[in-house]
C-alpha cells in the first residue's frame, strides 16, 4: 500500500474517534440539568427577622428550606425551639435548629399552584407566627426553570452581601426609618458651678483656741451639717483682770437671777390674792352686800396681776435661755464664742485642728450646699435672638452619659436666664439655668452642654444617628434589601435631634437601616473575601 495513502487512512480514523468523543461530551452536557438559583423571602415580625431560602418548588419533588431566624431586639440567633412551615395544607416541622439560628424543614408539596405560607416559631427567646405571603409550587421542572430564569437579574448597585452568620457574630441591629417630630437645637458649651449663697466660710470673730462642740468632736470633711448647728467654739485668751471682771459679771448675773425669781413669786402671790378677792366680792354682790364698783375694781386688780405674772415669766424664760447658753459657753469661768453653720450642707474643707489657735478671718470650715447648682454657658450675641424666657432645652453632662435634664421640668429652673451684658472680647452673653443636683451626681466643675430648642419640624423620614457612617467626608447608611444583602446609600441629612436625624434623601420611609454593626457591614463591602467563604449549610 502506498505510504501516503496509509497515513491518510490513519488520520481519518483518528479524527473520527475525536469527533465521537466530543459528541459524547456534548450529549452528557445536554443530559446534565443546570442547577437553579434558589429563591428567598425576608420577613420582619414584631420580635423576629426571618430570612428563608428554598429552591423553586416543583410538585412532588423534595425540597429543603433554610430558615435563618434572628431576634430583632438584640441581634442574637434563635438557638433553640421548634419551627413549623405551613404551605397550604402541607406542614413541615423541625424540633431543633440545625445549628444556631438555622432551622431546615424538609419535604415535598403534593399539589401545584399558589398557596398561603407561614412560619410558626416557638422558642424561649421569642414566639411568633411569620406570614410568608403566597408561595408558588410549579407543575414541572421546566416551569420552575423558566421562573428561576425570569427572576434572575443583575445585583443592585453598591450591593454589600453580609451573611446571617456574620450578622449574628456582631449582633447586628436594624432600625426602621419613618416619620418623626424633630427639634433643631442650639448647643452651648457650659460648666456646672456653685450658685451664689450656696457656699459659706465659717471664721472666728476673735482670736483664740479652737475647741470641739458639746458632742466632743469637730466636723470633718464630708460631714453633713444643719443651718445653725454649732460646729465648735473659740476660746480667747484671758488675763487675771479679765477673769476678775467675768467673775463680777457672773455675780451680778446671779443677783439679777434672784431678783427675777423673786419678782415671779411676788406676781404669782398677787395673782392668787386678786383671784380670791374677786371671787369673794362676786359672792357678796349676789345678795346685794357689795357694789358693782367694788366688783369692777376686783376684776381690774385680777387682770393687772395676770399681766405682771406674764411679764415676770417672760423675763424668767429669757434668763433661763441665757443661763443655758452661758453654761454651754463657759467652763471654769472661761469665755467662749460659738461657731455656727450659716447653711445646711456638707463640710468640704477644715482649716484647723482642735486645740490650734485661730485669728479673726481664718477659714475654719468651708460648707457647700450641693442640693442645687448653676449650669452656665456663653451664647454668641448673634444667637441671642433664638433664646428667650419661654425657650425650652436640655442640660447634659459629659460625665453622665444618657442623663438629660429638661429646662422647665421638675429638675431644672422654670426658665433660662441671659445676663444683660455682652463680653467685649468673646462677643457673648452668659446663659444660665438652675439645676437640682440629683442626689449629688452633678457636681460643680463638671463639663456640660445646654441644648436650646430653636425650631421644631415634622420629618417625613428620620432614623437613628447611629446608622450614619462617614465615607470620604460624606454621610452614608446601609439599607437591608433582603436578609443577606445590603445597599450603600448616600444621604442628605437635615435636622439632628439627640439620637435621631432627618433624612431628606437616600432612605425611604419603611426601609431598615443597620445601626449596631453598620461599620462592620461597610468593611465587608470594601473587602468581602475577608468575611468568610459564605454559607455552609
For Cα atoms 64, 70, 73, give the angle at the middle one, nearest 5 degrees.
165
What span, in angstroms and rounded, lies between the C-alpha atoms of 209 and 215? 17
Plot region of 164 (φ>0 → left; ψ -120 to 50 → alpha; else → beta)? alpha
For Cα atoms 268, 271, 274, give the angle at the middle one, nearest 5 degrees.
155
What is the pLDDT averaged over residues 363-369? Answer: 90
Other CB atoms within 10 A of residue 498 CB: 14
Answer yes or no: CATH 2.40.30.170 is held by domain 185-195+369-455. yes
What span, in angstroms and rounded, lies between the C-alpha atoms of 188 and 450? 5
Question: What does pTM read for this prediction?
Answer: 0.59
For 204-236+336-361, give the CATH class. mainly beta
Phi and psi at 302, nearest 5°, equal -65, -40
Residue 298: strand, helix, or coil: helix
What span, in angstroms and rounded, lies between the C-alpha atoms of 28 and 126? 50
Dihedral, CA of residue 17, residue 18, residue 20 and residue 21, to nearest 10 = 120
SS (H, E, C) 467-513: HCEEECCEEEEEEEEECCEEEEEECEEEEEECCEEEEEECCCCCCEE
Element containing residue 123 per DSSP (H, E): none
Give the position of cell 431678783. Answer: 259
- CB-based burial label for 65 (10 Å; 0-12, 13-18, 19+): buried
Strands 447-464 and 393-397: antiparallel
User: Which listed CATH number (3.10.580.10, 2.30.30.170, 2.40.420.20, 2.40.160.60) goes with 174-182+458-531?
Assistant: 2.40.420.20
More confident of the two residues 53 and 235: 53
Cell readout for 240 is 487675771
| pLDDT at 519 > cutoff 80 | yes
CB 335 within 8 Å of CB 328: no
- DSSP H helix total and E strand total for the chain: 6, 34
Cell readout for 131 is 406570614
CB 354 within 8 Å of CB 235: no
CB 230 within 8 Å of CB 218: no
| pLDDT at 351 > cutoff 50 | yes
Calculate the average pLDDT of the chain: 83
SS (H, E, C) 68-89: EEEECCCCCECCCCEEEEEECC
What is the pLDDT averaged over residues 320-324? Answer: 73
More confident of the two residues 461 and 279: 461
DSSP state of 99: B
CB 370 within 8 Å of CB 443: yes
Report which listed range, 11-15, 27-31, 93-97, 436-440, is most confident: 93-97
CB 50 within 8 Å of CB 68: yes
pLDDT band at 34; cut points 50, 70, 90: low
Cell readout for 357 is 489657735
What residues contact residue 302 under an 8 Å CB cut-off, 6+ apart? 271, 274, 275, 277, 278
More confident of the two residues 263 and 113: 113
Which range is least confidently modeled, 32-36, 163-167, 201-205, 335-339? Answer: 32-36
What span, in angstroms and rounded, lies between the C-alpha atoms of 357 and 354? 9
Cell readout for 61 is 419533588
pLDDT band at 535; cut points 50, 70, 90: low
Give the position of cell 381690774. Answer: 300
Cell readout for 506 is 437616600
What is the pLDDT averaged over residues 478-491? Answer: 95
Q: How far is CA 379 from CA 194, 291, 389, 422, 501, in A?
A: 20, 87, 15, 10, 24
More confident of the two residues 455 and 401: 401
What residues contact residue 275 under an 8 Å CB cut-off, 6+ apart? 302, 305
What span, in angstroms and rounded, lies between the C-alpha atoms of 121 and 68? 11
Report which listed range, 16-20, 143-147, 311-315, 532-536, is most confident: 143-147
Q: Which CATH architecture has domain 39-153?
A: Sandwich (2.60)
The candidate with the shortest Cα–Cα distance to 516, out of 466, 461, 476, is 466
Q: How far is CA 435 from CA 50, 395, 414, 480, 522, in A?
A: 48, 9, 10, 43, 42
| pLDDT at 55 > cutoff 90 | yes
What is the pLDDT averaged over residues 103-107? Answer: 96
More confident of the two residues 28 and 197: 197
What are the pLDDT digits (tens) for 186-198?
A: 888 999 998 888 8
Cell readout for 372 is 442645687
Amino acid at each position: 500500500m502506498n505510504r501516503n495513502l496509509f497515513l491518510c487512512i490513519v488520520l481519518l480514523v483518528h479524527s473520527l474517534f475525536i469527533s465521537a468523543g466530543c459528541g459524547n461530551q456534548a450529549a452528557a452536557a445536554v443530559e446534565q440539568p443546570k442547577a437553579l438559583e434558589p429563591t428567598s423571602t425576608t420577613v420582619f415580625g414584631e420580635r423576629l427577622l426571618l430570612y428563608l431560602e428554598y429552591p423553586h418548588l416543583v410538585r412532588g419533588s423534595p425540597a429543603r428550606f433554610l430558615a435563618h431566624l434572628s431576634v430583632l431586639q438584640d441581634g442574637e440567633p434563635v438557638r433553640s425551639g421548634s419551627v413549623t412551615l405551613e404551605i397550604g395544607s402541607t406542614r413541615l416541622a423541625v424540633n431543633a435548629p440545625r445549628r444556631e439560628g438555622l432551622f431546615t424543614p424538609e419535604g415535598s408539596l403534593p399539589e401545584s399552584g399558589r398557596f398561603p405560607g407561614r412560619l410558626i416559631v416557638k422558642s424561649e427567646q421569642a414566639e411568633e407566627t411569620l406570614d410568608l405571603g403566597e408561595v408558588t409550587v410549579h407543575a414541572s421542572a421546566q416551569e420552575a426553570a423558566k421562573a428561576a430564569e425570569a427572576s434572575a437579574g443583575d445585583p443592585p448597585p453598591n450591593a454589600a452581601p453580609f451573611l446571617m452568620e456574620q450578622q449574628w457574630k456582631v449582633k447586628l441591629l436594624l432600625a426602621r426609618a419613618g416619620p418623626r417630630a424633630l427639634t433643631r437645637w442650639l448647643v452651648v458649651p457650659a460648666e456646672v458651678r456653685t450658685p451664689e449663697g450656696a457656699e459659706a466660710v465659717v471664721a472666728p470673730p476673735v482670736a483664740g483656741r479652737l475647741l470641739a462642740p458639746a458632742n466632743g468632736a469637730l466636723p470633718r470633711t464630708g460631714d453633713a451639717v444643719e443651718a445653725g448647728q454649732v460646729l465648735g467654739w473659740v476660746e480667747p485668751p484671758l488675763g487675771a483682770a479679765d477673769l476678775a471682771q467675768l467673775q463680777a459679771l457672773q455675780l451680778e448675773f446671779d443677783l439679777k437671777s434672784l431678783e427675777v425669781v423673786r419678782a415671779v413669786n411676788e406676781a404669782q402671790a398677787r395673782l392668787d390674792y386678786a383671784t380670791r378677792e374677786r371671787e369673794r366680792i362676786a359672792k357678796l354682790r349676789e345678795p346685794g352686800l357689795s357694789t358693782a364698783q367694788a366688783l369692777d375694781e376686783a376684776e381690774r386688780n385680777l387682770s393687772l396681776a395676770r399681766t405682771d405674772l406674764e411679764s415676770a415669766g417672760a423675763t424668767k424664760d429669757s434668763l433661763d435661755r441665757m443661763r443655758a447658753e452661758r453654761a454651754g459657753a463657759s467652763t471654769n469661768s472661761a469665755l467662749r464664742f460659738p461657731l455656727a453653720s450659716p447653711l445646711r450642707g456638707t463640710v468640704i474643707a477644715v482649716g484647723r485642728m482642735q486645740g490650734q489657735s485661730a485669728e479673726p478671718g481664718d477659714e475654719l470650715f468651708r460648707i457647700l450646699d450641693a442640693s442645687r447648682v448653676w449650669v452656665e454657658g456663653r451664647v454668641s450675641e448673634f444667637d441671642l435672638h433664638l433664646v428667650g424666657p419661654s425657650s425650652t432645652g436640655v442640660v447634659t453632662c459629659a460625665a453622665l452619659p444618657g442623663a438629660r435634664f429638661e429646662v422647665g421640668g421638675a429638675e431644672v429652673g422654670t426658665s433660662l436666664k441671659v445676663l444683660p451684658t455682652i463680653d467685649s472680647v468673646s462677643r457673648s452673653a452668659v446663659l444660665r439655668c438652675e439645676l437640682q443636683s440629683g442626689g449629688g451626681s452633678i457636681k460643680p466643675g463638671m463639663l456640660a452642654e445646654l441644648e436650646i430648642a430653636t425650631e421644631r419640624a415634622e420629618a417625613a423620614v428620620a432614623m437613628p444617628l447611629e446608622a450614619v457612617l462617614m465615607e470620604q467626608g460624606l454621610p452614608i447608611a446601609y439599607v437591608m434589601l433582603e436578609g443577606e444583602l445590603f445597599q450603600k446609600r448616600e444621604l442628605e441629612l437635615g435636622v439632628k435631634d439627640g439620637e435621631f436625624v432627618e433624612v431628606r434623601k437616600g432612605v425611604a420611609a419603611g426601609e431598615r437601616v443597620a445601626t449596631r454593626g453598620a461599620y462592620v457591614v461597610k468593611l465587608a463591602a470594601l473587602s468581602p473575601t475577608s468575611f468568610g467563604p459564605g454559607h455552609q449549610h
